[in-house]
Amino acid sequence: MNIVLTINGIRRELTIDPGETLLHLLRRVGYKGVKKGCETGDCGACAVLLDDRAVNSCLVLAAKADGHEIVTIEGLAQWGKEDEIYPIGQAWDDELHPIQRAFLDAGAVQCGYCTPGMMISAADLLAHNPNPTEREIKEAIAGNLCRCTGYVKQIEAISKAAEIIRGLHE
């Protein structure tokens, strides 16, 4: 069957198998930043934004994405810049989303396999709540398992990214 969806701002017409998951489709058409960790919705490595909310793409049938907008890690920086997700006059002056920059600077990336999904969850959080408490950050990424970092620096990075985004508002 055929579906039409927008991936990272680009309209795509794609042929899919009826039983195909969004994770499988996205990786098949080249979005390899979407990671496969369990295929049962438990690890969050495959998280993408579906109409601006984070979902585990392994639990979404590709057919369900018909007519919707998908943002993967490959499109994260651009999503924030162009779509007025954050009510800011000017976007960040960087090729990276503030969350990506903060993850880099904080040392929040070790192996980097959970990182795309974790940052997608963080992007969802900060788009809806630019001033989260530590508890809210932890809740937002509770579905993104990481075995390398112990989460300490990831929580710090998301908090720092929130600060940067709030700074842009002012």
Partner 1 sequence: MSKGDFYVVGKSLPKVDGISLVTGKPRFVADIELPGMLYAKILTSPHPHARIVGIDTSKAEKLPGVASVLTHDNTPHTRYTTAGQGYPEPSPYDTMMFDSKVRFVGDRVAAVAAENEQVADEALRLIRVDYAPIPEIISPDDAIAAGAPVIHDERDARGIHDARHNIAASVDIATGDVGAGFSESDVVVETTCETQYAQHVPLEPHVCLSWLDEDGRLVIRTSTQVPFHVRRIVAHVLNLPVGKIRVIKPRIGGAFGTKQEIVLEDLAGLFTLRTGRPVLLELTRKEEFVSSRTRHPMRVRVKLGAKKNGTLHAIEMEALSNTGAYGTHGLTVLSNVGSKTLPLYNKADNVHFFGKAVYTNLPVAGAYRGYGAPQGYFPLETAMDELAERLGIDPLVLRRRNHIQTGETSPIFERLGEGREGVAQTIKSCALDRCIEAGAERIGWTDKRGKRHMEGKTAYGIGMSIHMQGSGIPYIDMGAATIKMNEDGSFNLLLGATDLGTGSDTILAQIAAEVLGVPLSKMIVYSSDTDRTPFDVGAYASSTTYVSGQAVEQAAKKIRGQIISVASAMLGEDMEGLILADEHVIGEGKSVSLAEVCRHALYESDQFQPAATASYFPRETAPPFMASFAEVAVDTETGAVGVVRYVAAVDCGTAINPRLAEGQVEGAVVNGIGYALTEEMLLSKHGRVQNPSLFDYKIPCALDIPPIDVILVESHEPTGPMGAKSIAEIGINAPIPTIANAVYDAVGIRLSKTPFTPERVLQAIRKAK
Residues that bind partner 1 (CB under 8 A): 31-40, 42-43, 45, 72-74, 77, 96, 100, 103-107, 109-116, 119, 137-139, 141-155
Distance (Å, whole) CA 107 – CA 58: 28
Of 86 and 113, CB closest to partner 1? 113
Of 125 and 170, CB closest to partner 1? 125
* CB of 170 vs partner 1, minimal distance in Å: 25
Of 127 and 154, CB closest to partner 1? 154
> Among candidates 104, 150, 141, which has minimal Cα distance to 123?
141
> Among candidates 83, 78, 81, 120, which has minimal Cα distance to 99?
120
Of 67 and 147, CB closest to partner 1? 147
* CB of 169 vs partner 1, minimal distance in Å: 23
Structural contact between residues 158 and 143, judged by C-beta atoms closer than 8 angstroms: no
* CB of 126 vs partner 1, minimal distance in Å: 15
DSSP 72: -
φ/ψ region of 10 (left if φ > 0, alpha if ψ in -120 to 50, else beta) reads: beta
* CB of 123 vs partner 1, minimal distance in Å: 12
Q: How many residues belong to the chain?
A: 170
Sign of CA dihedral 5, 8, 11, 13: negative
Which 3 state secondary structure label does DSSP give 140? helix
Of 51 and 105, CB closest to partner 1? 105
* CB of 89 vs partner 1, minimal distance in Å: 25
